[in-house]
Structure 1
Amino acid sequence: MRAPLRSPPGPGAGGHHQVLFALAEALPFAIALVVLVIELTPAHVVYTGPMLVATPALAAVTMGPRGTLAAAGLALAVSVVTATHNRAWGGQQVYTNLLALCLVAAASAMTSRAVRIRRDQELDQVRRIAEAAQEVLLRPVPARLGPVRAASMYLAAETGAQIGGDLYDAVQTRYGVRLIVGDVRGKGLPAVRAAAVVLGAFRESVHYEDDLVEVVDHCGAALRRDAATASAGLAGGEDALIEGFVTALVAQIPDALHVQIVNRGHPAPLLLRDGEARPLAPTVPLPPLGLEEFISGPPGRTDSYPFAPGDRLLLHTDGVLEARDGDDAFFDLAGAMEALRDRTRQSFLEGLRAALLRHVGGRLADDVAVVLVDRCE
Structure 2
Amino acid sequence: MDARPVRPRTPTDALLPYALIAAVTGLDMVVGATILLALLAAPPALAAVGSAPRQVLLVGTTALLACLAAATVNGIPASQRAFVAYGAVVAVTAAGAYASGAHRRAEAHRRDAEEHRRRAERDLAAAQAVADVAQNVILGPVPARNGSLDLAVSCTSAAAGARIGGDFYEAIPVPGGVRVIVGDVQGKGLPAVTGAVAVLQAFRESAPAAGNDLLAIADHIEERLARRTGGDEFVTAVIADCSHTGQVTVVNFGHPPPLVRRADGTTRLAEPDLPGLPLGLPFRDADGPGTCVVRLRHGDRILFYTDGTAEARNRAGEFFPLQERGALLDRQDLAEALTDLRRDLAEYTGDPLDDDAALLLLRFAPTPADAPAPPPRPKTRMRPAPPARTPRR
CA apart distance, 1:109: 9.1
Q: C-alpha deviations, 1:227-261, integer Å up to 9, x for none?
A: 139xxxxxxxxxxxxx7211000111123331111
CA apart distance, 1:331: 0.9
For 2:173 and 2:293, locate their aligned partners in 1 and report how far apart those are by CA, in whole Å: 19
Partner residue of 2:269 out of 272, 275, 279: 279
CA apart distance, 1:287: 0.9
Q: Are 2:175 and 1:180 aligned? A: no
Corresponding residue number in structure 2 for 1:31: none
CA apart distance, 1:297: 4.6
For 1:301 and 1:120, locate their aligned partners in 2 and report how far apart those are by CA, in whole Å: 46
Q: Are 2:253 and 1:290 aligned? A: no
Q: Are 2:303 and 1:314 aligned? A: yes
Corresponding residue number in structure 2 for 1:213: 215
Letter in 2 for 1:361: G
Equivalent pair of 1:183/1:317 in contact (CA under 8 Å): yes
Gaps of 5+ in 1: 1-72, 230-242
Corresponding residue number in structure 2 for 1:253: 242
Corresponding residue number in structure 1 for 2:166: 165
Equivalent pair of 1:76/1:101 in contact (CA under 8 Å): no
Quickly say closer, same or farther: Cα 1:308–1:365, change in 2 above 3 A. Answer: same
Quickly say closer, same or farther: Cα 1:129–1:284, change in 2 above 3 A. Answer: same
Q: C-alpha deviations, 1:88-107, integer Å up to 9, x for none?
A: 999xxxx9x9xx99999999
Letter in 2 for 1:338: A
Q: Are 2:365 and 1:376 aligned? A: yes
For 2:319 and 2:110, locate their aligned partners in 1 and report how far apart those are by CA, in whole Å: 48
For 1:297 and 1:105, locate their aligned partners in 2 and report how far apart those are by CA, in whole Å: 67
Equivalent pair of 1:286/1:295 in contact (CA under 8 Å): no
Corresponding residue number in structure 2 for 1:129: 130
Equivalent pair of 2:154/2:359 in contact (CA under 8 Å): yes
Q: C-alpha deviations, 1:14-40, integer Å up to 9, x for none?
A: xxxxxxxxxxxxxxxxxxxxxxxxxxx
For 1:74 and 1:214, locate their aligned partners in 2 and report how far apart those are by CA, in whole Å: 78
Equivalent pair of 1:323/1:364 in contact (CA under 8 Å): yes
Letter in 1 for 2:200: L
For 2:107 and 2:273, locate their aligned partners in 1 and report how far apart those are by CA, in whole Å: 71
- Within 5 Å, which residues of 2 pair with 1:45-124? 121-124=122-125
Report the 3-state secondary structure (helix = DSSP H, G, I; strand = E; otherwise coil) of the residue aligned with 2:252.
Answer: strand
Equivalent pair of 1:312/1:374 in contact (CA under 8 Å): yes
Corresponding residue number in structure 1 for 2:320: 331
Gaps of 5+ in 2: 1-49, 62-86, 367-393
Q: Are 2:307 and 1:352 aligned? A: no
Letter in 2 for 1:179: V
Corresponding residue number in structure 2 for 1:7: none
Corresponding residue number in structure 2 for 1:30: none
Quickly say closer, same or farther: Cα 1:86–1:175, change in 2 above 3 A. Answer: farther
For 1:156 and 1:323, locate their aligned partners in 2 and report how far apart those are by CA, in whole Å: 13
For 1:105 and 1:333, locate their aligned partners in 2 and report how far apart those are by CA, in whole Å: 49
CA apart distance, 1:113: 8.0
For 2:268 and 2:140, locate their aligned partners in 1 and report how far apart those are by CA, in whole Å: 28
Corresponding residue number in structure 1 for 2:5: none
For 2:256 and 2:106, locate their aligned partners in 1 and report how far apart those are by CA, in whole Å: 58
CA apart distance, 1:350: 2.2
CA apart distance, 1:310: 1.7
Partner residue of 1:266 out of 255, 258, 280: 255
Task: Give the TM-score taking structure 2 as reference length.
Answer: 0.62
Report the 3-state secondary structure (helix = DSSP H, G, I; strand = E; otherwise coil) of the residue aligned with 1:278.
Answer: strand
For 1:85 and 1:295, locate their aligned partners in 2 and report how far apart those are by CA, in whole Å: 91
Q: Percent identity?
A: 38
Corresponding residue number in structure 1 for 2:45: none
CA apart distance, 1:173: 1.3
For 1:342 and 1:123, locate their aligned partners in 2 and report how far apart those are by CA, in whole Å: 33
Equivalent pair of 2:276/2:290 in contact (CA under 8 Å): no
- Within 5 Å, which residues of 2 pair with 1:23-34? none
CA apart distance, 1:189: 0.8
Task: Give the TM-score taking structure 1 as reference length.
Answer: 0.65
For 1:85 and 1:223, locate their aligned partners in 2 and report how far apart those are by CA, in whole Å: 81
CA apart distance, 1:127: 2.3
Question: Size of the alignment, in residue pairs?
Answer: 289
Letter in 2 for 1:291: L
Equivalent pair of 2:267/2:323 in contact (CA under 8 Å): yes
Equivalent pair of 2:182/2:239 in contact (CA under 8 Å): yes
Corresponding residue number in structure 2 for 1:224: 226
